[in-house]
Amino acid sequence: MAEYRQYITQTEENGRVLISEDVVSVIAEHAVSEVEGAAGIYAKPGNEVADLIGKNWGRGLKIQIAEDNSVTIDMDILIHYGYSVVDVAGNVQTAVASAVESTTGVKVTAVNVNVSGISRK
């Protein structure tokens, strides 16, 4: 099994640039908020406990950075009532992958979307 890291490492002319998985999380969350029909990331019950130990485990978003700096994103989302679940989930996948790739310059290998609920507007 591949070892996952907490930072994307990019070597530049003047040194290295480290991008935290938390930065990727913020980019992904913002991308979800821009998709019509998406109500946002689903925060699991007890997420405050996960935040206390310093991880985003309870926030409905998991970022995995592989040795080759590619990124896999797993997320739980809520969808507004009345929208197509399949269409919104597909739009979320496209928006998140595009936002992360254009902002960080790394390859997103997968955006796995788990629709965890429906929200009323």
pLDDT digits (tens, 9 = 90+) for 81-105: 999 999 999 999 999 999 999 999 9
What are the structural domains, with CATH classification, of the chain?
7-119 (3.30.70.1350)
Residue 78 confidence class, pLDDT cut points 50, 70, 90:
very high
For residues 24 and 14, give the distance between their C-alpha atoms in angstroms, rounded to a whole number: 23
Give the other-Cβ count within 10 Å of 108's Cβ. 19
